[in-house]
Amino acid sequence: MGQTIGVLATRQVAVGVVEDNALTGPIRVYPEGVEDPDALRTMTGDEIAELIGQQVLISANGRQIDSVGVGFPGVIRSGVVEESPNLQQIKGFPFAAALCGVLGRGGLHASVLILNDADAIAAGVAATRGHLEKLIRIWYLGDGVGFGRYPQMEGVWEGGHMVVSLDPKEHFCGCGGVGHLEGIMGHRAMRLRFLDMEPEEVFAAAHEGDARCVTFVKRWHRALAAASASSIHLDGPGKFFIMGPNAHYVDLGLVAQYIHEMVKMTPLQGSLFEIISSSHDLAIVGAAVNARRASA
């Protein structure tokens, strides 16, 4: 059995070789040093595929590689990036086919799986915690809101765009949709809502009792609970992991209170929430795990 290579391609490209659900060596990161948020935004789809392919070939270094998994932001089905709000220039790009071409020209003939980066993270959490037999879901709270699920299933799974409000004034989501979870919880959305305050100031002011901020922070937590409750009603109870730059704002007690109000059927109760740190490692391992499962 050969090894698998996992890739995370968001603001940077991070590549690692994975065996037995663990990294076998150091992670290669491009560009090295300070994270450049525009590193991939200025590239075409072919250029991104070429970059990732070359990094994979260097990481392979003559090893037998059976499969390659790439965690990438956006709606990805059958190897095609159908939508990627963060990298709009590659909408409709046949990513898997392009990457296979780059690898083939380099002498590496391996199966390729392109999947949503949040799904890769969810698989990484499952693998590193020994939960590959369980349902795992993650919320990634950053500029937007990512939702990941393991085991991976067919579908769009853009959970950050669940509708959690019927208020037509809730129009702050980056996709332009009304009432979305990301339009309440996303960092960008919070900055648009509070033009006179940064998100950290909003939560600090709520802690001090500012009425406007207290109201919003409750709505913020209720939105997370509502999206999680919708997932529970569709997919059953289980473990939710919360991570990302804004995860530290989450009050797990408040989320549990709201979930208790929203999920009343006995077979659906018992979900748990845990805040954990995110890292390239989780996504790389998860991308590799899903790629190996897809090729089996």
pLDDT computed for residue 41 by the predictor: 86
180 φ, ψ to 5°?
A: -80, 155
Mean pLDDT across the stretch 194-210? 97
242, part of any domain: yes
Is 80 found in the same domain as 44?
Answer: yes
pLDDT computed for residue 35 by the predictor: 64
271, part of any domain: yes
pLDDT computed for residue 131 by the predictor: 93
Distance of CA 174 to the CA centre of its chain: 16
Contact residues for 119 (Cβ-Cβ < 8 A; gap 6+): 71, 148, 149, 150, 152, 157, 286, 290
Give the predicted TM-score (pTM) of the model: 0.92
Is 115 found in the same domain as 157?
Answer: no
How far is residue 231's CA from residue 254's CA, in Å, rounded to a whole number? 18
pLDDT computed for residue 32 by the predictor: 78
pLDDT tops 80 at residue 36: no
Is the CB of residue 16 less than 8 Å from the CB of residue 30? Answer: no
Q: How confident is the model at residue 204 (pLDDT cuts 50, 70, 90)?
A: very high
Is 139 found in the same domain as 266?
Answer: yes
Share of the chain above pLDDT 70, in %: 98
Is 267 found in the same domain as 158?
Answer: yes
CATH number at 112 reads: 3.30.420.40
DSSP structure string for 222-235: HHHHHHHHHHHHHH
Is 262 found in the same domain as 169?
Answer: yes
pLDDT digits (tens, 9 = 90+) for 232-288: 999 999 999 999 999 999 999 999 999 999 999 999 999 999 999 988 999 999 999
Q: What per-residue string of b and e applies to 110-149 under the rule 16 or more CB within 10 Å gives b?
A: bbbbbbbbbbbbbbbbbbbeeeeeebbbbbbbbbbbbbbb
Is 147 found in the same domain as 103?
Answer: no
Domain span at residue 85 reads 3-123+279-295
How far is residue 107's CA from residue 17's CA, in Å, rounded to a whole number? 17
Site of tokens 């991104």: 48
- For residue 63 the two structure tokens come to 């090893």
pLDDT digits (tens, 9 = 90+) for 115-171: 999 999 999 999 999 999 999 999 999 999 999 999 988 888 899 999 999 999 999
128, part of any domain: no
pLDDT computed for residue 85 by the predictor: 81
Is the CB of residue 268 less than 8 Å from the CB of residue 236? Answer: yes
pLDDT tops 90 at residue 86: no
pLDDT digits (tens, 9 = 90+) for 44-55: 999 999 999 999
- For residue 175 the two structure tokens come to 């996709």
- For residue 30 the two structure tokens come to 């491009």
Is 12 found in the same domain as 58?
Answer: yes
Cis upstream peptide for 245 (omega within 30°): no
237, part of any domain: yes
How far is residue 210's CA from residue 243's CA, in Å, rounded to a whole number? 26
Is 153 found in the same domain as 118?
Answer: no
Is 88 found in the same domain as 52?
Answer: yes
Mean pLDDT across the stretch 21-33? 88
**How many structural domains compose the chain?**
2
pLDDT computed for residue 34 by the predictor: 61
Is 146 found in the same domain as 47?
Answer: no
24, part of any domain: yes
pLDDT computed for residue 31 by the predictor: 83
Q: How confident is the model at residue 62 (pLDDT cuts 50, 70, 90)?
A: confident
Is 255 found in the same domain as 214?
Answer: yes
How far is residue 140's CA from residue 243's CA, in Å, rounded to a whole number? 5
Instruction: Enumerate the β-bridge partners of residue 81.
Output: 76, 93
Is 151 found in the same domain as 178?
Answer: yes
